[in-house]
Chain A
Amino acid sequence: MKISELSPVQLQQRLHQQGLCIRTGPFVTRVHTSLTAAVEGIGLLYADYPVADEDDFADFHIRLALPRGVRRWIKPQVLFLFDGTRTFKPLPADQAFPMFEWGLNWCVSSHAHSYLIIHAAVLEKHGHAVIMPAPPGSGKSTLCAALARNGWRLLSDELALVRIADGNVIPLPRPVSLKNASIDIMRDYAPDAVFSRKVSDTMKGTVAHMQAPADSVARAGEPARPGWVIFPRYEAGAGTRLTDTPKARAFMRAADNAFNYSLLGERGFASLAALIEASSCHEFTYSNLDEAIDTFNRLQPQVPLS
């Protein structure tokens, strides 16, 4: 069953009472909340996601709740509880949905150590994944959203999961997080896409989320082989430029952007080395989205799929 098959009342009841078990990629998250902003956001952006059986095992148990005391009424706040434990500082209540997204990223990146987890946007075409590790502000999410609207399958806009057992890139398609100017750029670029409402004054500025394409969500069970590791950089007015980057340098930069590289020790090194080895590595500067997509569409994988 998909979340969209629940009526708004049923959805609210589930989130309120027994919890809603959402399947995203390899993980099941049981969510409890009675906050309107969170219920709305989940109903809107997770409509296409499968509901997992509530008697089944869930990976993460989270609750978005109002604190006790005056902060429930005056300048209300929202708490993110990981199985009852407060893991973050409370945020203003209208940030409940972004907090759900950030919290879910934290759940995965701080637990799922059967994957090498890189802070990166990931998309796929013809079985090959392009991994784009980048710090905030590099235009990674904007580029990711545009590619996801132009024939590339969205695997994730935040977390590249490289399965240690076989080196496959595992999809975790979730809403794409857009910040500040990117929000209006994407709204103009993809007027028929579904966006959450803007939330301002968050720690990342104004944020909004774009729904993941339904096809990406439906194909969340199909892994991809490594294809490219590309370090994107948005630069106002710059021409579109794709240049090769030495593998050793790509390795170090990807390691810098990995959450659990050092935790995984030798296995982390081996997984990242295999990933870089199998990928062609580039730096990419852009300012024009159409040209950027054009460049990506001409990419050829280093090793064709056998």
Chain B
Amino acid sequence: MTPPPLILRAFRQPEQLSALDPAEWDLLIRQARKANLLASLHVLLQERSVLAAAPAGPREHLAWADALAQRHMLAVRQEVSLIRQALQACAVPVILLKGAAYVMAQLPSAHGRLFSDIDILVPKERLDQVEAALMLHGWAATHHDAYDQRYYRTWMHELPPMRHIRRMTVIDVHHAIVPDTAPVYPDPAKLRASACPVEGQAGLLTLAPADMVLHSAVHLFHDGELDNGLRDLVDLDRLLRHFGSQPSFWPMLIERARTLELTRPLFYALRYTHSLLHTNVPTEALAQATRFGHPGNATLALMDALFSRALLPEHPSCADRLSGLARQMLYIRASWLRMPPLLLARHLFHKAFLSPRLAESAP
């Protein structure tokens, strides 16, 4: 059996990295860069006090990534404060999602995490008001094509992404965490009801700890965009380690997954963080997640084959002959999970044949 890729070994047992030779460090840094995890690796080595044991060359690359990540966190805080100002007049509770939430709630998963957009969740009935307020403060729609507009507004769980005309920053305004058209639909009202205020930032909230984990899981295992698959799995790992240090968290997590109908993504999240990153999941929690979220055996065998490949960095050293196919199949699966088959067929037909023609005939 081939040994697991260095990047997995690094996140499982950073203490053992001091045994790597220069060529192995070379490969580790490349895998981490490709996975967008260099700065996270820097933080991890710092936390475990093993950074000094790394040779000078790799340590320099980790420090470079850290400089970028520090700047990024600052930019996120500033952007969030501008969003808060823009939406102040609406008096709408703004729930930060994913990366921005980790940064503002100062969770360990924030360190070294690079992301391009800020995601927020607002009540569906307030969408128009939020959109108008953002436009008034300089954010403009990015998708001008009439079909794209309809695609987002009718079927998706978010507005078309909006970009600030001067700063070029992008905000995704969600009203739910999965598309309206998806077969499972965790009720956004329940998510909003349990949201937690961000300390010192009136009007800003994050999802409750269990909901944050479930959102991260549904995003990774239902969304099909696996360019940052391992980075997202590391997020889950860090969230689980952080919240899971309270024993009461685990039963709550299982309970919440059942309420929100997200037991399947939770099952995958616990299964793959445990198998790939050796996240410490209590046996009882794993058993419960299996009981409620286990797919059929054949499906699981297929998912194991797909995710064990697609969750690795897209680096040649982490790929086998089936890696590309695995990513493609998961992409198709994600579209499938997003929309009922007929709607999906219609959407793909439009994207393949009509959108290009319309683009050509545009002035």
Contacts and interface: CB of A to CB of B under 8 A. Distances in A.
Interface of A: 28, 55-59, 61, 83-85, 111-114, 262-265, 267
B34 interface: yes
Task: Tell me the interface secondary structure of chain B in the complex.
Answer: helix
Nearest to A26: B60
B76 to A, nearest CB: 13
Interface stretch (B5-13, B61-69, B144-152, B276-284): B61-69
B26 A57 contact: yes
B30 A83 contact: yes
A83 B30 CA distance: 7
A85 B64 CA distance: 19
Contacts of A265: 70-71, 74
A202 B19 CA distance: 47
B296 interface: no
A114 B22 contact: no
Given A83-B33, A83-B34, A55 B64 contact: no
Contacts of B357: none
Name the 8 nearest CB pairs between A and B, nearest first: A113-B67, A57-B57, A113-B64, A57-B22, A57-B26, A56-B22, A263-B71, A55-B23
Interface in B43-73: 55, 57-58, 60-61, 63-64, 67-68, 70-71
B74 A114 contact: no
Task: Tell me the interface secondary structure of chain A in the complex.
Answer: loop
Interface in B16-30: 21-23, 25-26, 29-30
Nearest to A83: B30
B316 interface: yes
Contacts of B33: 83
B351 interface: no
Contacts of B315: 83-84
A112 B22 contact: no
A103 to B, nearest CB: 16
Given A57-B55, A57-B57, A114-B64, 16 more contacts: A55-B23, A57-B23, A57-B25, A58-B26, A59-B57, A61-B30, A85-B34, A111-B64, A113-B64, A113-B68, A114-B60, A262-B71, A263-B71, A264-B67, A264-B71, A265-B74
Contacts of B29: 57
A57 B68 contact: no
Contacts of A111: 61, 64
B67 A263 contact: yes
A267 B67 CA distance: 10
B189 to A, nearest CB: 40
Interface hub of B26, B33, B34, B63 (most chain A Cβ within 10 A): B26
Nearest to A113: B67
Interface of B: 21-23, 25-26, 29-30, 33-34, 55, 57-58, 60-61, 63-64, 67-68, 70-71, 74, 315-316
A114 B316 CA distance: 28
A264 B66 CA distance: 10
10 contacts: A55-B21, A55-B22, A56-B26, A57-B29, A61-B30, A83-B33, A84-B34, A85-B34, A113-B64, A262-B71
A56 B30 contact: no
Contacts of A113: 63-64, 67-68
A82 B45 CA distance: 25
Contacts of B22: 55-57
Nearest to A57: B57
Contacts of A59: 57, 60-61
A262 B67 CA distance: 11
Contacts of B61: 59, 111
A38 B113 CA distance: 37
Nearest to B34: A83
A56 B57 CA distance: 10
A112 B57 CA distance: 11
A280 B71 CA distance: 30
Nearest to A82: B33
A54 B63 CA distance: 23
A11 B34 CA distance: 29
Contact of A84 (B60, B68, B70, B316): B316
Contact of A114 (B26, B30, B67, B71): B67
Nearest to A164: B67
A57 B30 contact: no
A112 B64 contact: yes
Contacts of A262: 71
Contacts of B64: 111-114
Contacts of B68: 113, 263
A112 B64 CA distance: 6
A264 B63 CA distance: 12
B34 A57 contact: no
A85 B316 CA distance: 10
Contacts of B34: 83-85
A101 to B, nearest CB: 21
A112 B34 CA distance: 17
B31 to A, nearest CB: 10
Nearest to B24: A57
A56 B23 contact: yes
Nearest to A53: B22
A130 to B, nearest CB: 27
A93 B232 CA distance: 38
A59 B63 CA distance: 13
Nearest to A28: B57
B103 to A, nearest CB: 16
B327 to A, nearest CB: 15
